[in-house]
Structure 1
Amino acid sequence: MKIDLHMHSSCSDGELTPEALVARAKEAGLDVIALTDHDTVEGLARARLAAESEGLTLINGIEFSSRWGKIGVHVVGLGLDATSEALQEAVAAQQAARVERNLTIASRLEKLGAHNIYQRAVDLAGGTQIGRPHFAQLLVEDGLVKSVASAFKKYLGAGKVGDIRQQWPPLIEIIGVIRAAGGVAVLAHPAKYRLTRTKLRALINDFTEAGGGALEVISGYQPSGLARDLAAMANEAGLASSCGSDFHRPGGVWQELGRFEAMPTNARPVWSLWPELAALGGHK
């Protein structure tokens, strides 16, 4: 059984529609997937219908933005009830915060010469969630930069004019929402926060004490030995281990669907929490 529990569709900042994403997952040989769009569950119903037609098992998911102290961290929710009132309220609040953030980014970019960029980003997104990649494409159209990569390097990357620090809800609050919706909270891609080992342990401890259930020990392609090390840290904290590609678009060789190492032997897989999946076994 091949499992990928972290991926994104065009309902957030992914490139493929939920249906196309599921079809690609099937081509990749996956058996169990979780759609984990940023701060939205809009694509789950469509993904579920597609998964049923392809013979795949879909686990409801979401990826929430949150903060731990002054650090932004992401928490994946797995196996949750998408109709939960607590979840719906949290999603609405997150979406409102995203709109405010995007309006601020647009205002700053227009002062630099971009034209009506917020409304154009909305149109470009086609009714789905807009984000910095949309703004980047429009900056290219306006001739302010030559490429999307240049747009991030000059205007949208860390520390640039379009890098707006969002005051996301505290980590403990987001974990509470996921648990209220019957889901398992997973600390996403912990190695990507570039914390010292001491700070990472502190984050994991706080995450566990707040009710977190798993650590994402595999996030796409990563250095040899990292997964085993993270699994050991998860075990020490009493957490299960999760894995995923964090897929956003075709061509991302480091984040392709299902293309990551096997779950380390010292890990307690998060799918062991769901009896119907634990019975199937699985290596990814």
Structure 2
Amino acid sequence: MTTYSNADLHCHSTVSDGTLSPETLAQRAHANGVDLWSLTDHDELGGQARAAAAAAACGMGYLTGVEVSVTFIGKTVHIVGLGFDMLDPNLHKGLAQTRGGREQRAMEMAEGLAQVGIANAFEGALKFVGNPDLISRTHFARFLVESGVCSDTNEVFRRFLTEGKPGFVPHRWAKLSDAVHWILGAGGVAVIAHPGRYGFSPNEEYALFTEFKGFGGQGVEVVTGSHSPAEYETYADMAIEFGLAASRGSDFHSPDESRIDLGTLPHLPSKLSPVWDLLATRIQ
């Protein structure tokens, strides 16, 4: 079995809400020492063939990837799929259903922003969209920064795009069971993305892990750009408690916006089983 010293299995390109192409991401990952990479665009597989080819050209191992949006206990949770068949028809159908409704949601977000004096936000956000089917809060955030309403995207989310703020509109995503089953059905491994981000109570988080495991989920992101060092330990313990493999990913979106660059995270704690060991035969 090949040993990988710097796996980065979570990032985004212009195919969803990143600012770099799959090819540029691959080159950046390779330059930062990544030896096993995955592009995990939101609810979309359109960049997979390009990412795999670019990884091969750089000499990196590659795992197919996607980040699926699900609704769990009224909150949006993300499930990363790794190592699946990118041509699987049921996975494509499920992701298309999940993407549906984003445009209507975006128009409602723009209406909310207009009510507080920010005009033409829908048209402004569209300028930043690489894939119109995947217009998101991130694209609105970039417009509000460009137009001078906020100094950076973090300020946009604090003031306008989180629950209770004028530009927030909830969206009903896939069910947790659906996302896990789509990924498993395509021969992949399902991973809970950045669990520290969701703000669940201990009981809610335990329910998430329990149900995820029950549906066949096999992994959890432990070391990620969204977690603090203390959370690395918290979720390392959760991985052991639930018998889950551990994943590692920067969640990189943009050189100007992301907290952590591709390939620059600490290593997984040695007591954990890396998720890529489950996928050795799926690495390209």
- Tell whether the 8 Å contact from 2:26 to 2:55 is kept in structure 1 after alignment: yes
What is the distance in 2 between the residues matched to 1:153 and 1:89? Answer: 34
Match in the other structure for 2:225: 220
Given the superposition, is the C-alpha separation of residues 193 and 164 from structure 1 closer, same or farther in structure 2, using an over 3 Å criterion?
same
* One-letter amino acid of the structure 2 residue matched with residue 125 of structure 1: V
- Counterpart amino acid of residue 254 in structure 1: R
Conserved in 2, the CA contact under 8 Å of 1:228 and 1:267? no
1:54 aligns with 2:58: yes
> What is the aligned partner in structure 1 of residue 24 from structure 2?
20
- Is 1:249 matched up with 2:254? yes
Shift of 1:12: 1.0
In the alignment, structure 1 segments of 5+ residues that lack a partner are 279-284
Match of 2:279 among 274, 277, 280: 274
Check the 8 A contact 1:172/1:207 in 2, yes or no: yes
Is contact 1:221-1:261 (8 Å) kept? no
Pairing 1:135–2:111 present: no
Q: SS of the counterpart of 2:259?
A: helix
Pick aligned residue for 2:169 from 164, 168, 173: 164
> Does 193-202 or 220-229 show the bigger shift?
220-229
Go from structure 1 to structure 2 and tell me whether the alpha carbon gap of 1:109 and 1:55 turns closer, same or farther (over 3 Å shift): same
* 1:34 equivalent in structure 2: 38
- By how many angstroms is 1:126 displaced? 4.2
Match of 1:90 in 2: 94
In structure 2, the residue matched to 1:174 is 179
Normalising by structure 2, what TM-score? 0.89
Distance 1:208 1:249 in 2: 32
**1:67-216 residue pairs with structure 2 within 5 A?**
67-127=71-131, 129-140=134-145, 145-149=149-153, 150-216=155-221
Structure 1 residues 67, 137: closer, same or farther in 2, change over 3 A?
Answer: closer
Q: Distance in 1 between matches of 2:96 and 2:258?
A: 33
Q: Comparing 38-47 with 187-196, which one deviates more in the overlay?
A: 187-196
User: Compared with structure 1, are the counterparts of its residues 100 and 28 closer, same or farther at alpha carbon in structure 2 (3 Å cutoff)?
Assistant: same
8 Å CA contact retained: 1:81, 1:181: yes
Give the count of matched residue pairs. Answer: 277
Structure 2: runs of 5 or more not aligned: none
CA distance 1:132–1:223, shift in 2 (3 Å): closer
Distance 1:62 1:30 in 2: 18
**Contact 1:30–1:56 (Cα < 8 Å) also in 2:** yes
Letter of the 2:247 partner, please give it.
Answer: S
RMSD of aligned alpha carbons: 2.2
- Is residue 2:26 matched to residue 1:3? no
